[in-house]
Chains A and B, each alone.
Chain A
Amino acid sequence: MAVGKVTFTKVEREKLAEVLCLLNWISVVTGTILFGLGLFLRVEIQKWQEVMSEQGILYVPHMLITTGLAACCINFFGGKICLDCADTNKFLRWKLVMMPYIICTFFFTSCILAGALMCYGIRSQMEESLFMGLRNAMRYYKDTDTPGRCNLKRTVDLLQIQFQCCGNTGYRDWFQIQWISSRYLDMSSSAVVDRMRSNVEGKYLMDGVPFSCCSTFSPWPCIQHHLSTSSTQDEQSRQLNLWRRGCRQALLDHYTGIMQSIGLTVLLIWLFELLVLTGVRYLQTAMENVLRLGDPESESDGWFLENSLAETARSNFNIIKNLGKCYQVDDDPNINVPTAAAEEELPSHFIPETRTKT
């Protein structure tokens, strides 16, 4: 009792083969789109890699890139096969390759699905990575003379200007770190020394923010310093002066937006690949049945699975279970297996008549 049985006439088989050939070529194009999307995502993540604490996020674009390349190769190969499948003689060439090809395609189609789901699921990991990364970047903002960190100031400034954000969660994050390097502090000044002494760790903390936090939409010149004690503006107008959003939220929104659109496109590509895979499976079974019937002009059945799902699972499980065994004791009568039964005397009525005569 086959699953999804459909009867195909000869004309229908040929049409199916042609359509599948075309769909396979379209799949090559979608494979390149997948590759392109992976590349684009990688470039976008690399732009702001300095403010991310872990590089594990890169496995998503790498997955998309490899599946895209695999899609191109597999579907290119599939296009060639389907072109030959219209004719029963040419199909004989590909008969043995078809089943492994279908299994391969099924495997890589599920990789595409995994890639799409990863795009949606990576949000929490990215948030964590951005939180740690931004905290470190702000901490090393002042270290423009330390090798390996000299560009962090520029990166953070450009980030705040481009994404219109300030600090990690908000502008107050800048109050908790020393972002002015000691090289530019006048240690002989009593004000500076007092401020550093009043802090437990000897840091020069101030209620000010860097210039890159200034909002261009503000109608008045930017007030960056003495933000807690500013008397000319109240709290609400002070907030208008600087960017209100935190950079973590801004970057998260930016990347989530990109990954959601990419995820949606990849899901659509996955559905398309599934359609192609189903078509190839039907074509394969239909052609095999034609060969089994012997008459190339006749109708044949194509199906998804030969037996029901449970039986197929059971038979496959048995195959895998018996893969380890070298020979099968029960089935093969030609093997000389020494057992107790061979030494038993045969019952008398089995003795041939020639014996009784002598």
Chain B
Amino acid sequence: MVVMKMKFPFQKRVKLAQGLWLLSWCATVAGATTFTLGCILKTELRRRAEVMDNQDIHIVPNTLMIVGLASLGINYFASKICQDALDAGRFPRWKNFLKPYFAVSCFFTVLMLLAVIMSYAMKGSLESSLKAGLRNGIRFYKDTDTPGRCFQKQNIDRLQMEFQCCGNNDFRDWFEVQWISNRYLDFSSKEVKDRIKSNVDGRYLVDGVPFSCCNPSSPRPCIQYQLTNNSAHYNYDYQTEELNIYLRGCREALVNYYMGLMNTIGAGVLSIFLLQGSVLVSLRLLQTAMEAVAGKENTEIETEGYLLEKGVKETIMEYLDPVLKFFLLKNQVEEGSAAATTAATPTPT
């Protein structure tokens, strides 16, 4: 049962070859674009690497870069093949090359689709990575004298100002952490001593946030300390106040930013996938149409082109058989010898 059989008169074959040549050069440019998009995404992810706990999400840009490079090679060969296709003398030299070529091309094209699916599927992984990373960042905010953590304060401040966010889930995360280092607390002051004593772990907790949470769009000067104490500030109600500090959490802000970036990139890569797929389909049709011409004296006859000679399942089994045979080689030999002995034993009886 042949898949997608089409008739190709001589003129149509010529047109197909010409169109395919143009299409393959477009697909080469598209492959370079995929590589660039992968690089951009990787750079953006690396910029905020300090607030990410693991690097799992990097599989998406890495896959895009690999696929981009591979499609450059695939489309280069596609253009060369279709250039030689109409020349009956030069086409046969590609004969042995085409079967592995199609296998590899299909693999990388499917990989492109997988990269797009992964970029949507890995949202949860990104979110948990950011949650852990931001929690550590806030915890180590005060440790500007500890090697390895001295830049956490600067990174968190810059992050909060750039993404207009505060804390992990929201600004209340700052209430649970001592973000003012002991070096800057006056231990002779009664107020400081009382506050430290009232906490179980001996931490100096305040209901205040760092200055980087302040919103410049607020009409009043920023209220950073005693946020939940309405009487400490004139004409202030913390439950209705919206503009004073950023109310959004940094995790939500970063996830939205990266998902937006990956959606845009995903849409572009999806259209490149369709382009690449059409190149491969056209090349397959051209190949089968030209193979029917081989050996004939009149090269201008009408031939049939098809996508797959047998059905989809049978074709996949055909490709996988050599692979399976290689891995199951030992079992085949054992089965063979067992069959031989069982065949041999009945005869004497």
Contact = CB atoms under 8 A, between A and B. Distances in A.
Interface in B199-214: 210-212, 214
Nearest to A221: B180
Interface string B217-247: 1111110100000000111100000000000
A214 interface: yes
A37 B111 CA distance: 45
Nearest to B162: A161
A315 B94 CA distance: 82
Interface in B264-282: none
Interface stretch (A27-35, A179-187, A329-337): A179-187
Contact of A220 (B144, B219, B221): B144
A179 B144 contact: no
A154 B217 contact: yes
B153 interface: yes
B216 A157 contact: yes
Given A221-B184, A221-B210, A158 B216 contact: yes
B211 A222 contact: yes
Contact of A153 (B181, B184, B216, B234): B216
Contacts of B214: 211-212
Contacts of A150: 219
A184 B183 CA distance: 33
Interface in A215-250: 216-217, 219-222, 224, 231-232
A153 B219 CA distance: 7
Contacts of A224: 211
A144 B222 CA distance: 13
B234 A184 contact: yes
B235 A216 contact: no
Nearest to B186: A232
Q: Does more than half of chain A's interface fall in helix, strand or loop, or is it mixed?
A: loop
Contacts of B50: none
A214 B216 contact: no
Interface in B151-194: 153-154, 157-158, 161, 179-181, 183-184, 186
Nearest to B158: A216
Contacts of B184: 220-221, 232
A34 B19 CA distance: 42
B161 A184 contact: no
A145 interface: yes
B145 interface: yes
A231 B218 CA distance: 30
Interface in A261-318: none
A145 B211 contact: no
B179 A184 contact: no
Contacts of B181: 220-221
Point out which of B183, B220, B235 has the most chain A C-beta atoms below 10 A from its C-beta: B220
Contacts of A211: 211, 214, 221-222, 224
Nearest to A216: B157
B161 to A, nearest CB: 6
A210 interface: yes
A232 B185 CA distance: 8
A300 B264 CA distance: 66
B154 A179 contact: no
Interface in A65-88: none
Nearest to A159: B216
Interface in A179-214: 179-181, 183-186, 189, 210-212, 214
Contact of B221 (A145, A161, A184, A189): A184
B292 interface: no
Contacts of A189: 234
Contacts of A144: 219-220
A219 B221 CA distance: 23
A212 B234 contact: no
Interface in A20-71: none
B251 to A, nearest CB: 21
Interface string B121-160: 0000000000000000000001011000010011001100
A235 to B, nearest CB: 16
B81 to A, nearest CB: 41
A179 B184 CA distance: 27
A221 B144 CA distance: 10
Contacts of B222: 210-211
A145 B219 CA distance: 8
B153 A210 contact: no
B210 A212 contact: no
Contact of B216 (A145, A154, A216): A154
Contacts of A185: 234
Contact of A214 (B150, B211, B233, B235): B211
Contacts of A212: 214, 216
Given A183-B235, A216-B153, 6 more contacts: A185-B234, A186-B234, A220-B181, A221-B179, A221-B181, A231-B186
Interface of B: 142, 144-145, 150, 153-154, 157-158, 161, 179-181, 183-184, 186, 210-212, 214, 216-222, 224, 233-236
21 contacts: A144-B220, A153-B218, A154-B217, A158-B216, A181-B219, A184-B220, A210-B221, A211-B221, A214-B211, A216-B153, A216-B154, A216-B212, A217-B154, A219-B144, A219-B150, A219-B153, A221-B179, A221-B211, A222-B210, A231-B186, A232-B186
Interface of A: 144-145, 150, 153-154, 157-158, 161, 179-181, 183-186, 189, 210-212, 214, 216-217, 219-222, 224, 231-232
The 8 closest A-B pairs by CB, nearest first: A157-B216, A219-B144, A144-B219, A186-B234, A211-B222, A214-B211, A211-B211, A211-B214
